[in-house]
Amino acid sequence: MQNPEQFDYIIVGAGSAGCVLANRLTEDRNTRVLLVESGGSDNSIFIKMPTALSYPLNTPKYNWDYVSAAEPYLDGRQLDCHRGKVLGGSSSINGMVYVRGHAKDFDEWQTLGANNWDYAHCLPYFKKAESWIGASDEYRADDGPLAVNLGNEMRNPLYQAFVDAGVEAGYNATADYNGKMQEGFGPMQMTVKNGVRCSTSLAYLKPAKSRPNLTIRTKVLVEKVLLENKRAVGIQYQHKGKIHKVMAQREVILSAGSIGSPHLLQLSGIGPADVLKEAGIELKHELPGVGQNLQDHLEFYFQYRCKQPITLNGKLDPISKLLIGMRWFFFKTGLGASNHFESCGFIRSRAGVEWPDMQYHFLPAAMRYDGKSAFDGHGFQVHIGHNKPSSRGWVRALSADPGEKPWIQFNYLQEQADIEGFRACVRLTREILNQPAMDPFRAGEIQPGEHIVSNAEIDAFVRSNAESAYHPSCSCKMGEDVMAVVDSETRVHGIHALRVVDSSVFPSITNGNLNSPTIMLAERASDLIKGVAPLAAESVEVGLIEGWQSAQRNGVPRRVVDRA
C-alpha cells in the first residue's frame, strides 16, 4: 500500500473487449499493461466445445448471474442477464454467433454523436479482427485473429429448408449477411476454430500471454477507480481478502461490460448525483448518463413438431451425448463442433423500415437456449426478436459495497413500437414456417400455438415467454450530448486518463449479436489509445431492398397465412 505497483495502462475486465486491448496495447514492448479479471481460467472442455454452450452459460463459476428487477411490462418477471466472469468474458460463454450488425447501425451511431464511428470507419476494423473461411473481398478478410466459419455447413436438411422457406415467403437469399447484403436468409457464421470455441481469450489473449510487458491477474474484485483532481490514477481491488492499489501512469480502461462498467463508474463516484446519493456513495464527478440508455435484445422461440426423426432432440440421451463428446474430444468434428445455429434470417418488420430490425436463429431442435428443458419428441425452432427496441432501462448501484449487484432494469416492451414489433415477429414467422419448403418437416405448432392469433393474445404470449438474448448494451453511451458518458475516442467526459471500451459505449444497439461489434470497437479503440493513425475509412456499397419505403419484403409469398 505504501509503494503501489505502476503500469502504463490498467484494463479492468478480460472479456470480449479487454482481451483485444491487452493484445494490441502490448504490441509495443515498452508499454506495461495490467489486465485484471474477476473470473478465472477458461481452460474447460465445456467452454471449448461449441455444442456445450449451455454449461458455461449456466455455471456460476463462469457467470456473474445477474438478474433484472421485476420487469413491469413482462408481467413482473425477472429475467436472467448472463455475463461472462472468466478469461474471455462473455465470448467464453456465449452462443458464438458472428454478426457484425447492419451497416446502417453504425451510420446511426454517427448521427447520434459518435464521430467517425460510421460503417466506413468501422469496416476496416471488422476486417482487421477476422479470419473468414470464405474468400476475402472488400467486405471480408482472412488474416485476423478471430476465426469465423460455417460450422457443419448446414448438413441437417432443416437448415436449408428454413432458408428456402424464407425465399418462398418473398425474401431474398443472402450468402453472406456480413457482406454487402444483410437482409435475407442464408447460412449463419460462428466464431469456431478447428472445432473449438474461438473466444477473445483464445484469439487475442493467448498469443499475448508470453509477453513480459503484460501482467494478468484473475479472481480479483475491483472496488473503484482511484481519482485525483478529476484524473484516474489507478484502481483499488480485493484479492484473497486483501486490498490492493495499483497505479496507471497513462490510463485506466474499463472493459467490464454493459453492467460492470457503469456500476464501477458509480462505485468510483462518477454518475448521476441522485443515484449516488441514494447508494451512499460520495459524488466525485456528476455524469448523469452513467447507467442510463440500457438496451437489450428480447426474443422468444417459435417451435414446431417435426415429422422426421432428424432433430437434435434425438441426441439428448446419455449414450448419444457420450458419442458426440468422444468424437469431438478426439477429432474436434461432428455435432460437438457446432453451436447448431447454422442458418438464419434478417428481415424488416414493416414497410418504411430502411434496414432489418428482426433476426432469426434457426435451431434443428425444440429446447431452451440455456439447455434447461427440451420438448419431448422431435421438433425445431427459430429464435426471433425485434432487434431495434425503443424502450430504455438503467443500471444503478444500490450501495457502496462492490460485492452487491446493481439494480438492473430493462423496461422491455415499455414502448408501443416494441409491442407492435413483436406482433410482427409472430405473424411473419408463422407465415415463413408455413411455406411449402417446411411441409416435409412441419407437424404442428408447439408455441406460441395456433390459437394465439389476436393482438391481445400475441401480447400476452410475448409478455409471458420472451427472454433476454443476453445482449445488454449502451449504458455508457458514446456521444457529445448531456447524457453521453464517453466521447468519440472512448474517453470519459470530464475525467482525464479514464476510458470505457466495451458494448456499454454503443450509442444504440445493433441488429445482431454483439460479440463482433464489441471486438471491432476494441480494435479501433486500441489505435485511438495508442495515438496512431486509424485505419483509413472504406466506402463500399451497402445492400438495401429496393422499394423499402413502401414494401415490407421484395417478393410475393407462395403461401399466404392469414390468421390476423
Residues known to be catalytic: 471
The partner residues of 407 in beta bridges, in order of sequence, read 396
Nearest one of 250, 153, 245 to 192, comparing CA atoms: 153
Separation of alpha carbons 309 and 303, rounded Å: 15
DSSP string for residues in 83-144: -B-BTTGGGGTS--B-----HHHHHHHHHTT-TT-SHHHHHHHHHHHEEESS---SS--BSS
Distance CA 285, CA 265 (A): 10
Contacts of 128 (CB under 8 A, 6+ apart): 141, 144, 523, 535
Quickly count helices (H) and strands (E) in the chain: 14, 24
**Rounded Cα–Cα distance for residues 216 and 18 (Å):** 11
Residue 294: count other Cβ atoms within 10 Å of its Cβ. Answer: 27
SS (H, E, C) 450-471: CCCCCHHHHHHHHHHHCEECCC
Residue 512 grid coordinates:
445482431
Q: How many CB atoms lie within 10 A of CB 439?
A: 12
C-alpha to C-alpha distance for 425 and 299, rounded to whole angstroms: 9
Q: Which amino acid does the sequence have at 277?
A: K
In the block, which residue shows the cell 448419444?
320
Backbone angles phi, psi at 215, to 5 degrees: -115, 130
DSSP 480: S
Of 108, 39, 79, the residue nearest 472 (C-alpha): 79
Which triple of cell numbers denotes residue 347? 428481415
**Angle, helices 18-25/515-530, rounded to nearest 10 degrees:** 30
Number of C-beta neighbours around residue 59 at 10 A:
16
Terminal C-alpha separation, the chain: 68
What are the beta bridge partners of residue 149?
A: 190
Q: How far is the CA of 520 from the CAs of 85, 171, 345, in angstroms?
A: 21, 29, 22
Tell me the C-alpha to C-alpha distance, in Å, between residue 427 and each of 87, 284, 424, 457, 560. 41, 50, 5, 12, 11
